[in-house]
Amino acid sequence: MSFFGKAKESCSKSACCANEKLQEGSKVASEKAGEVKDEACEKIKEGAKCVETKVQGGVDAANKKVGVMSFLQKFTQKANEKLEEGVKGLNEGIEGCVNSVNEGLKSASDSLEGLSNTANEKLQKGVKSANATVEGINTSVQSGVDVTNQKIEGFNSSLQSGVDATNRKLEGLRRDRFPF
| Of the ranges 54-63, 99-108, 141-150, the best mean pLDDT one | 141-150
Q: What is the DSSP string of 99-163?
A: HHHHHHHHHHHHHHTT--HHHHHHHHHHHHHHHHHHHHHHHHHHHHHHHHHHHHHHHHHHHHHHH
Ramachandran region, residue 66 (left: φ > 0; alpha: ψ -120 to 50; beta: rest): beta
Instruction: Write the DSSP assignment of 5-59 as a string of letters.
Output: HHHHHHHHHHHHHHHHHHHHHHHHHHHHHHHHHHHHHHHHHHHHHHHHHHHHHHH
Average pLDDT, the chain: 67
Q: For the chain, what is the domain count?
A: 1
Containing domain of residue 140, as a range? 3-177
pLDDT value at residue 149: 81
Q: What is the mean pLDDT of residues 56-64?
A: 61
CATH number reported for the structural domain that contains residue 171 in this entry: 1.20.58
Q: What is the pTM of this model?
A: 0.28
pLDDT in tens, 97-141: 667 666 766 766 665 555 455 666 776 777 787 677 777 777 877
C-alpha span between 127 and 121 (Å, rounded): 10
Cα dihedral angle (140, 145, 150, 155), rounded to 10 degrees?
130
